[in-house]
Structure 1
Amino acid sequence: MKILQSILLLLLFVPLTKPAQSTQKNTDNFEEILFTRDYEDQYLDGKNIKKKESMMTSDEKSLQLQQDESSTSLPLKKENDEMPTCLLCVCLLGSVYCEEVDIVTVPPLPKESAYLYARFNKIKKLTAKDFAEIPNLRRLDFTGNLIEDIEDTTFSKLSLLEELTLAENQLLKLPVLPPKLTLFNAKYNKIKSKGIKANTFKKLSNLSFLYLDHNALESVPLNLPESLRVIHLQFNNITSITDDTFCKANDTHYIRNRIEEIRLEGNPIALGKHPNSFTCLKILPIGPYF
């Protein structure tokens, strides 16, 4: 009888214990799952943090590289700063280039400017104010503009000016020229003899090259300096010359040693009718003799 009671108790106990074991197992699994998820979350977060850190590091490196590049490019910028620009012109090592930019007046120039090239623009007038504060100018080139008038004092302060080119403009007369000129070019204008004063070239003791061809001159300019080597007067309206034009009528021993070329072709003059006009020259002028 006791045995039966024990068996019955055992049968009753077994079903109760099994679910308890299953529940404990499920609980353990649940805790494992939570632990695993928590671990994975932490692990992945750690990876993400590392990834973010690596991204930040990469961005910082990129920023550092950009800073390094900008720091290494500073000298280049400094070099560019040494080559300033003047509005529409380019200034480089004392030279100013204002060619074919349609300017109508002389632009403001750096005080250290020595050479100005303002060719093929629309400048109509030159004034003393244009160069008042630019005393170091040595060369001016205004070829191909529309210059009709130049104030007499325009070049008065340019004591160092050596070359002045006014070719292909609309000039009717010449201004006072600076004393140290070695080259003066005013070809292809509308200059008449009355537009050149008697003493315009007299004191230019360094002048070597004079180009006044393709104008409207009726005579050769007076008082041409001894320093001249080349004189271009072709294609004007010159009809006569005198014994004093190139030589000295009262000095038969006078010789012009420096003259290398005189061009008078294209003028309505027969050079053969004026033989005494060339006795001081080592070469005869180029032009019609009959």
Structure 2
Amino acid sequence: MKTLQSTLLLFLFVPLIKPAPPAQQDSRIIYDYGTDNFEETLFSQDYEDKYLDGKRTKEKETVIPDEKSFQLQKEQSVTPPPPKKENDEMPTCLLCVCLSGSVYCEEVDIDAVPPLPKESAYLYARFNRIKKLTAKDFADIPNLRRLDFTGNLIEDIEDGTFSKLSLLEELTLAENQLLKLPVLPPKLTLFNAKYNKIKSRGIKANAFKKLHNLSFLYLDHNALESVPLNLPESLRVIHLQFNNITSITDDTFCKANDTSYIRDRIEEIRLEGNPIVLGKHPNSFICLKRLPVGSYI
């Protein structure tokens, strides 16, 4: 009796049991690695699909060129490129640093001024082995406003070196081996030639006379025997300390025949370290608002 009941129950439940559906075969959906890996897998698969689709599309669009097109391509490939101009190669900017019109050639061991980009406005060539400056160095660089050659070995500068630099405002030649000064450009506001070997005979009588914008003149630590003549009215600072200056006259800074003349722009004159006794020349400073720095006794 019990066997019959079991058999009847089995026939009743069998229709309710359905076979499990087949497993998904899409390799792109993987849940076992967490959310991050799941998104990465989808991205990777999507990238591969797009890459393959694009590759197939490109292959479909590729056509075999006709004979005329092939000949044209061949002629174009054979045609040599136009020759490079010297300035196109910019050799200086490979050795130095060129940035917004400024060229920095500091401590790169050059022994001459390198070719400069035509748009150069500022050149810093400090602490190198440059021995000479020539007119050719800046002939095609008319926009230069500042030159700094501190700490080189410059012994000679051609007179025409700065003749075309009508915009040059600052020229620094400190710590070199100069014995004389070249002709200076007219718009200079600062000239620095301290720590050289310049003697008074190495400065022409009118070297500074026409420099109507010159405000700062640094000629200290040289071998000057006297103060340069015809210093412009525009000067504010004059450094002549540690030279061999032994005397000055009433016309050095003032005007001997004009007691009402006042030189009000000068803020500082330094003459210490020279063998001159300033107290012996009281009339030489009558036009100044401030006495020069130096020995008075």
Answer whether TM exceeds 0.5 for this pair.
yes
What residue number does 2:197 align with? 190
Aligned-residue Cα RMSD (Å) equals: 2.4
Contact kept? 1:208, 1:227, Cα under 8 Å: yes
Runs of 4+ in 1 over 2 A off after TM superposition: 56-61
Give the drift of 1:57. 3.3
Q: 1:263 to 1:133 in 2, by over 3 A?
A: same
Contact 2:92 2:114 in 1 (8 A): no
Distance 2:106 2:50 in 1: 48
How far apart are the structure 2 equivalents of 1:199 and 1:281? 22
Query: Which residue of the partner structure matches residue 175 of structure 2?
Result: 168
Q: Please state how far the C-alpha of 1:84 moved relative to its aligned partner.
A: 9.7
**Structure with more of its chain in helix, by fraction:** 1
Decide whether the 8 Å contact of 1:150 with 1:175 is kept in 2.
yes
In the alignment, which of 105, 108, 115 is matched to residue 101 of structure 1? 108
Q: Please, which of 203, 206, 211 is the counterpart of residue 199 of structure 1?
A: 206
Distance 1:166 1:88 in 2: 22
The corresponding residue for 1:17 is none
For structure 1, the residue ranges without an aligned partner over 5 or more in a row are: 1-46, 48-53, 65-82
How far, CA to CA, are the matches of 1:280 and 1:143 in structure 2? Answer: 34
**How many residues get paired?**
221
- SS of the residue corresponding to residue 48 of structure 2 reads helix
The match for 1:22 is: none
Larger C-alpha radius of gyration, 1 or 2? 1
Distance in 1 between the 2:147 and 2:164 partners? 14
CA distances 1:198-257 after superposition (whole Å, capped 9, x unpaired) = 000000000000000000000000000000000000000000000000001111111101
Partner of 2:137: helix, strand, or coil?
helix
1:245-274: per-residue Cα shift (whole Å, max 9, x none)? 000111111110100000000000100000
Give structure 2 stretches of 5+ with no counterpart. Answer: 1-26, 28-44, 56-89
CA change 1:283–1:115 in 2 (3 A) is same
Alignment of 1:190-269 (within 5 A): 190-269=197-276
TM-score for the superposition, normalised by structure 2: 0.71
1:85/1:122 CA distance change after superposition, 3 Å: closer
Deviations 1:82-116, CA, capped at 9 Å, x for gaps: x9961311110000000000000000000000000
Classify 1:60/1:133 alpha carbon distance in 2 versus 1 (closer, same or farther; 3 Å). same
Q: Assess if the C-alpha contact under 8 Å between 2:92 and 2:115 holds in 1.
A: no
Residues 84, 92 of structure 1: 8 Å contact kept:
no
Question: Identity rate of aligned residues, in percent?
Answer: 88
Equivalent runs, 1:61-76 vs 2, <5 Å: none
Give the match's secondary structure for 1:231: strand
For residues 195 and 94 of structure 2, what CA distance do their matches in structure 1 show? 30
Task: Give the letter for the 1:116 counterpart.
Answer: L
SS of residue in 1 equivalent to 2:191: strand
1:107/1:244 CA distance change after superposition, 3 Å: same
- Answer whether contact 1:113 1:136 (CA < 8 A) is retained: yes
